[in-house]
Structure 1
Amino acid sequence: MSQLVLFAVDICAVVLLVFGLYFPRHRRRDLVVAYLGVNVGVLAVASALSTSDVGAGLGLGMALFGVLSIIRLRSTELDQHEVAYYFSALALGLLGALNTTTPWLNAGLMALILATMFLGDHRRLFRRYRHQVLVLDSAVTDHLALVAHLEQLLDARVHVATVQRLDLVNETTVVDVRYALAERAPTTAPGAPARSGARR
């Protein structure tokens, strides 16, 4: 497998990552440009460094430093799954640029990254679990009472409830909640006639 073919595999992989996995699931257009730019940029820089006298380790370190700086100095908030997509796009670019004696291994590792993101970010994986930061209109100092109130409010089982701010003057509680929605049996749609087992 030549280097140009590996470049083509990387482009196909990042297109599948962005337009096949990320955008259909999360619909954030600005990060589409970011992921494509990170991948192609790392691919270009790493390819240029691999043919120069500069060490590959220095190039890899500079690429990681640049991506970490982007994530750290971002102007908008990123979720953890979006950070994972950043590093996946970065890894795909590096694998596409590395000129090794086993290019099929690079292609296999690209496929492994895509499979991992497909499964790890699948909607059916832990689909009942949620995470929210709530502001309650009362100051709750008792943890058990707080959990009971949250479970009644959310109609869910609360696994973790961490109080971030407790304001006794304004009677408010800011709490970080991680919970699981209760499973409900399917109900008949309103206005739909109920089925009967008897036949006329």
Structure 2
Amino acid sequence: MSQAALVAIDLLAVTVLVFGLYFPRYRRRDMVVAILGLNVGVMAVATALSTAEVSAGLGLGLFGVLSIIRLRSSELAQEDIAYYFTALAIGLLGGISVSPAWVTPALMGAILLTLFIADHPRLYRRVRSQTIILDMAYPDERFATARLAELLGAEVTRLRIKKLDLVQDTTVVDVCFRLHPTGPGGGPPAGHPEFAEMARGQR
């Protein structure tokens, strides 16, 4: 496959990635610029240095250096990181000639299909995760779990206390939860029986 064809396939793939998958789902203009710039830049460098002797080292070096620079510059969500490195991988594939010719578009297609399925809005659509600061110190995870279930109106599936501040009377938690089938945004239930029972026992 000619280098021009590889470039065209790369540009098509990154267009699908950004404007077909990422932006419709996350609406972050800054990441659109970052993903497109990364992809085209990596593809250009890989094309200029695409020899059998340097291809493997080039790929590993770009992954390492760019990950350090980008991931230290600002905090990214895990989804943003996935799209970011997908653009990097597609750029490398677009700049390095692989034999047989069908391998490159097949690999790009496999990457896009994987991201399309893994990040589809209907996949685990009621599952959420957040870092939350509670306005009370909860040494016991059971109380924190019940309190969060009441506040979120959801089933708490996993909770990890990250910081317990007894002076400021706050608790920082990482929580994973599943929204109730009644639909998100409906507000918390009137009361959580388990929380009420434990609160009475705590007094």
For normalisation by structure 1, the TM-score amounts to 0.86
Offset at 1:148?
A: 1.3
State the distance in 1 between where 2:16 and 2:69 align.
Answer: 23
Could you tell me which residue of structure 2 aligns to residue 57 of structure 1?
A: 56
Query: Is the contact between residue 46 and residue 59 of structure 1 (CA under 8 Å) also seen in structure 2?
Result: yes
Name the aligned partner's letter for residue 102 of structure 1.
P
Query: Which amino acid is 2:8 matched to?
Result: A
Query: What's the counterpart of residue 9 of structure 1?
Result: 9
Say whether residues 1:73 and 2:76 are aligned partners.
Answer: no
Distance 1:166 1:61 in 2: 40
Q: Cα distance, 1:54 vs. partner?
A: 5.7
Paired letter, 2:62 = A
Residue aligning to 1:121: 119
Task: Count matched residues.
Answer: 183
Counterpart in 2 of 1:150?
148
Q: Aligned partners of 1:126, 1:71: CA distance in 2, in Å?
A: 29
* Deviation beyond 2 Å, 4+ runs, structure 1: none
Measure, in 1, the Cα distance between the counterparts of 2:21 and 2:86: 12
Alignment match, 2:161 = 163
Bigger radius of gyration, 1 or 2? 1
Query: What is the aligned-residue RMSD (CA, Å)?
Result: 1.6
Following superposition, the deviation at residue 3 of structure 1 comes to: 2.0
Instruction: Please name the residue that 1:86 is paired with.
Output: 84
- Matched residue type, 1:41: G
C-alpha distance in 1, partners of 2:139/2:92?
51
C-alpha distance in 1 between matches for 2:53 and 2:105: 25
> Aligned partners of 2:23, 2:4: CA distance in 1, in Å?
27
Provide the rounded CA distance (Å) in 2 between the counterparts of 1:147 and 1:44.
50
Aligned 8 A contact 1:136 1:174 in 2: yes
User: Which deviates more from structure 2 when the two are superposed, residues 21-30 or residues 176-185?
Assistant: 176-185
| Contact 1:71–1:83 (8 Å) recurs in 2 | no
1:110 equivalenced with 2:94 (yes/no): no
Partner residue, 1:40: 40
Q: SS at 1:73's partner residue?
A: helix
User: Could you tell me which residue of structure 1 aligns to residue 93 of structure 2?
Assistant: 95
Look up the equivalent residue of 1:151 and give its one-letter code: A
TM-score by length of 2: 0.85
Cα deviation 1:87-126 (Å, max 9, x = unaligned): 1101111111121221211101111111111111111111
**8 Å contact kept, 1:140–1:146:** yes
Letter in 1 for 2:9: V
Task: State the shift of 1:66 in Å.
Answer: 2.5
Which ranges of structure 2 fall in alignment gaps of 5 or more residues?
184-203
Which AA in structure 1 matches 2:25? R
